[in-house]
Amino acid sequence: MSTTEIPDSAQPRRRLSREDRQRQLLDMAWQLIREEGTDALTLGYLAEKAGVTKPVVYDHFTTRAGLLAALYQDFDRRQTALMDAALANAEATLSGTATVIATAYVDCVLTQGNEIPGVIAALASTPELERIKREYEAIFLEKCRNVLSPFADGAEIGQAGLRAMLGAAEALSQAAATDEISAEQARDELLATIIAMVERAAARTAKAGD
């Protein structure tokens, strides 16, 4: 070896920015959940697998609950970006808009694989985490209400219908992620659920006006 060459092990490590470090830790956390399940995920184990010290992980997430919340927020951002991009190019019809919502929801869950159901289940373990989940759900449901309302003939799309839609979305996506049903079946059934919800709202208004 030339005296001017430095072994790889001796090369100085590039210091990651805080944003890049958090991205690295989240990606490793998703991998751990995928390979070993949500119960295996602790801040100490994440630090070990990511090759960093425990204080680094604690600085980013503080607690396991904070890590789980960050994972759900990461999933939600990905889902929102996917749906927003698709809505911008969607056909301005009930079918076109409902197709975007159904496809974006199912595809985002499938992209994350079996990891997200475990994270969602863990979020129900404490009131704090359940509150975070509810807050993000409320944002998603309001977005759906806003983009679907123009096709309801002036009717209000009620919270009960939106909650039923979300329940169907979660159940169908999880069934597709575990290969109980196909992705296409999940998308098609969710699409039908969304269209039926909007049509019921319009029909109630029409009936009330008779």
> For position 97, what pLDDT does the model report?
96
Query: Do the beta carbons of residue 129 and residue 70 sit within 8 Å?
Result: no
Token pair in block for residue 54: 């425990």
> For position 8, what pLDDT does the model report?
44
> For position 124, what pLDDT does the model report?
75
Q: Which residues contact 6 (CB under 8 A, 6 or more apart)?
A: none
> For position 25, what pLDDT does the model report?
96
> For position 60, what pLDDT does the model report?
95
> For position 206, what pLDDT does the model report?
64
Count the neighbouring beta carbons within 10 Å of the beta carbon of residue 36. Answer: 12
The ranges of the chain with pLDDT < 70 are 1-14, 205-210
> For position 6, what pLDDT does the model report?
43
Q: Which residues contact 73 (CB under 8 A, 6 or more apart)?
A: 132, 136
> For position 5, what pLDDT does the model report?
47
> For position 2, what pLDDT does the model report?
42
**Identity of the residue numbered 183:** A
The Cα 169–Cα 189 span in angstroms is: 9
Q: Is 19 exposed, middle or buried (0-12, 13-18, 19+ CB in 10 A)?
A: exposed
Considering the entire predicted model, what is its pTM?
A: 0.77
Given its phi and psi angles, is residue 158 left (phi above 0), alpha (psi -120 to 50 degrees) or beta? beta
Q: How much of the chain exceeds pLDDT 70, in percent?
A: 90
Residue recorded with tokens 């979305």 = 169
